[in-house]
Structure formats: C-alpha cells, structure tokens
C-alpha cells in the first residue's frame, strides 16, 4: 500500500516559516521572506485511490487501508471496483504512453483522488452533488532496492516518476 501524505494547512506553513526565520532570539526582528503559493480548491470528502499492477490486477485504498466492497470507506470500493479495469484501459492506458509503458514493465500505477459529494461528508457545499471521484495525482512506483548510498538517487528517481494530473472527475 502506498499512502498519500496529509496535505498541510496554510497556517502550518506560516508557523514553520516563522519558526525557521526567527529561530534564534537575535532573529526576532528579522524580516520575513516573501513567498508565492499556488492554491487549489479543497474538496471535502475522503482520500481514496485505485492501484494497478499488471500481474496483480487492481485494488482500492483509503489514505491508510486497503479497502474492498465488503470492507469499504464511504462506499468508494463498492462504486469503483466494477468500473476500475474499464476506466484504466479505456481512459488511462489508451491516453498515456508513459503510463502504459511503465505498467507493462510491472510498475504500480496509483491514481489518487478525493471521493466526495452525496452523503460522504455532511454540511459541505458539495454534498448536494452526485458522488464523484476527483483525481488529483497519478503516481508510478517502481521496485527499487534502497541502500544507504542510493537513498538520494532513489529519492530523485521517485520524484521524476511522479506524473501530475490536473483535477478531473470520472
């Protein structure tokens, strides 16, 4: 299982910048850096993913658990399981030669998104919309052997293997 990390809130970033910039008493009056941020819309739902590997088929997961239609998270696995293979073949593999090539080589393809709308999270604006899976990242994971000497190189390889996808829904 490959978990998607927690998304920090903006106020946490401000706190960290303040602590870093003014970490010593002598820095108390130091000017704060000017930083630029790109924000995205926060969808209030639950983090979900569909994972694929050529010889293993597909599986679903929440942020921290493998889920199934029988052991589900907000109905995501029950909804997506019957559609997962068709979606992957018709909309992912057919549209991306990079993903198709990596999948054929046995690498894991993980499609992360937010399962939202309907009754997934009450008292939010999108609860009036039909349930949807909104993709925010596709990650390709290879089988690397981690050694102390290779950690920096592996980290670089993992960063290069991530493919960003704009938010789309299916």
Residue 7 falls inside a structural domain? no
In a domain? residue 19 = no
Residue 18 within a domain: no
CATH number for the domain harbouring residue 132: 3.30.470
- Asked if residue 148 belongs to a domain, the reply is yes
pLDDT at 116 over 90: yes
What's the whole-number average pLDDT of the chain?
Answer: 85
Q: What is the arithmetic mean of pLDDT over 56-78?
A: 97
Domain extent at residue 149? 41-169
Structure confidence at residue 168 (pLDDT): 42
Confidence of residue 143 (pLDDT cuts 50, 70, 90): low
Mean pLDDT lowest for which of 13-17, 66-70, 142-146? 142-146
Domain count, the chain: 1
Domain-located, residue 16: no
Q: Which of 45, 170, 25 is nearest to 111 (CA)?
A: 170
- Asked whether the predicted pLDDT for residue 51 surpasses 70, the reply is yes
DSSP state of 163: E
Residue 64 included in any domain: yes
- Report phi then psi at 108, rounded to 5: -80, 135
Q: CB count, 10 Å around CB of 118? A: 18
Is 34 inside a domain boundary?
no
Share of the chain above pLDDT 70, in %: 84
In a domain, 119, yes or no: yes
How does residue 144 score in pLDDT terms, banded at 50, 70 and 90?
low
49 HSE (CA, 13 A, CB side)? 23
Closest listed residue to residue 83, CA positions, set 58, 54, 107, 55: 58
């Amino acid at each position: 299982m490959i978990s998607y990390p927690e998304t920090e809130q903006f106020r946490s970033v401000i706190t960290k910048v303040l602590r870093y910039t003014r970490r010593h008493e002598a820095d108390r009056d130091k000017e704060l850096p000017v930083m630029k941020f790109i924000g995205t819309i926060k969808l209030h739902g639950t983090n979900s993913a569909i994972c694929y590997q050529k010889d293993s088929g597909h599986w679903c997961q929440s942020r921290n658990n493998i889920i199934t239609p029988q052991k589900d998270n907000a109905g995501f696995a029950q909804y997506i399981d019957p559609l997962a293979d068709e979606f992957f073949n018709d909309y992912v593999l057919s549209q991306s030669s990079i993903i198709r090539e990596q999948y054929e080589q046995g690498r894991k393809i993980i499609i992360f998104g937010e399962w939202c709308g309907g009754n997934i999270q009450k008292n939010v604006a999108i609860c009036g919309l039909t349930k949807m899976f909104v993709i925010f990242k596709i990650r390709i994971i290879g089988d690397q052997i981690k050694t102390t000497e290779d950690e920096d190189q592996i980290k670089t390889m993992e960063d290069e293997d991530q493919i960003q996808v704009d938010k789309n829904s299916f």
